[in-house]
Amino acid sequence: MLFVTGVFGIAFGFVEAAVVVYLRSATGFLTLKNGMLLDSVNFQSFYQKPELIDRIPALLFSIELYREAATVVMLVAIAIIVASALRERIAIFLWVFAFWDIFYYVFLWLTIRWPSSLADQDILFLIPSPWLAQIWFPILISGLFIIAVILRRKDS
């Protein structure tokens, strides 16, 4: 069960990365020509500016909010589908979330070579309001989720 849900999380991480590449391209924060990255906004300085949200068209911002909510629903749904007990469902949710989150950054780096370092800033989530942090933080939390699930599994 952990292997299959981990693979699901990795695949979902790629989908998430692809969506972000498309969103950045659509909003002009990432320029592609003939399949090559021409230019990318310096996201380190970009994310420190308070007008960040104002630069994203309102329609795309709304769609992004709903996409994030749908992402959480899908992660919860996979936990409900594969586990019956509440503790198992929470563990599966954290497990899939962790693989999804880590591989999101792996696939962003593989596709557009961003982030350039673990110290780069990112918008982690927009719900209920934008969460900003350096990349190392969500990766650390996700790593701790994976360790906790593995250790708890050995205790069972």
Strands 36-40 and 30-33: antiparallel
The predicted-structure confidence for 10-68, as pLDDT tens digits, reads as follows: 999 999 999 988 887 777 777 666 655 655 555 545 544 445 566 777 888 888 889 99
The mean pLDDT of 101-108, rounded to a whole number, is 96
> φ, ψ for residue 29 (rounded to 5)?
-85, -5
Model pLDDT, residue 49: 46
Confidence of residue 147 (pLDDT cuts 50, 70, 90): very high
pLDDT at 66: 93
The domain locations on the chain are 2-155
pTM: 0.85
